[in-house]
Amino acid sequence: MVRFPFLIAVLVTFLAACAPPSGGVGTSDDGTRVYRINTRDTAEIQFRMLDSVNSLREARGLTQLELSSELNAAAATHSRDMAVQNRPWHFGSDGSSPIDRVRRVGFNGLLVGENISETYETELETLAAWMELRDTRDIILAREARTMGFAWFQEPAGKIWWTLIVGGDPGRSS
């Protein structure tokens, strides 16, 4: 069991070395390390996350995921809403659940799960943290997963609100 976290850390480090973050890394006024994201890098960051998730899934013999524009939209909406609420949690300020949000954007497949984070870290560091926890790792490595959405909202001070949504086959409702 000790080897699993080590292997995840090595894999994520390898993936990070293959594709350096497009945003800049600096420090805030209080000395916090800040990863700055440029809006023009959205597609690059989403595909880097997709490739990393698929590498982890491939190592387990699991089906590759495809990026879903509907799930990306639901993830973006929730990331911004968490920032407005100033707390990482799965319910929207309007009381919406992850199921409500994916339905609003027209996703008609199975909602496998939603991972969220409030951090100053890169997307790959966030993925590594999700892989260390059983419940968030189970969403990423779910056998029934077929699609994924990934988005974020970055506050002016640099804090990033990440949302990863994993979906299953269209036609299978949650």
Mean pLDDT of the chain: 86
Whether residue 44 contacts residue 51, with contact meaning beta carbons closer than 8 Å, is answered with no
pLDDT reported for residue 40: 86
Question: What phi and psi values does residue 97 have, to the nearest 5 degrees?
Answer: -100, 170
Could you give the C-alpha distances from 94 to 79, 82, 116, 119, 168, in angstroms and in order? 14, 11, 18, 23, 25
Could you give the C-alpha distances from 163 to 29, 67, 89, 109, 149, in angstroms and in order? 26, 13, 10, 18, 8
pLDDT in tens, 25-56: 666 566 667 777 888 889 999 999 999 999 99
Question: What phi and psi values does residue 127 have, to the nearest 5 degrees?
Answer: -60, -45
In angstroms, the CA 67 to CA 134 distance is: 23
pLDDT reported for residue 18: 43
pLDDT reported for residue 3: 56
pLDDT reported for residue 8: 56
In angstroms, the CA 35 to CA 45 distance is: 12
- Using a 10 angstrom Cβ sphere, with 0-12 exposed, 13-18 middle and 19 or more buried, the burial of residue 18 is exposed
pLDDT in tens, 86-109: 989 899 989 999 999 999 999 999
pLDDT reported for residue 21: 44
Whether residue 165 contacts residue 148, with contact meaning beta carbons closer than 8 Å, is answered with yes
pLDDT in tens, 147-156: 999 999 999 9
Asked whether the predicted pLDDT for residue 140 surpasses 70, the reply is: yes
pLDDT reported for residue 108: 93
Percent of the chain with pLDDT over 90: 68
pLDDT in tens, 125-135: 999 999 999 99
Could you give the C-alpha distances from 66 to 33, 70, 82, 87, 105, in angstroms and in order? 31, 12, 25, 29, 17
pLDDT reported for residue 124: 95
**Band of the pLDDT at 16, cuts 50, 70, 90?**
very low
Asked whether the predicted pLDDT for residue 169 surpasses 80, the reply is: yes
**Band of the pLDDT at 24, cuts 50, 70, 90?**
low
In angstroms, the CA 17 to CA 141 distance is: 23
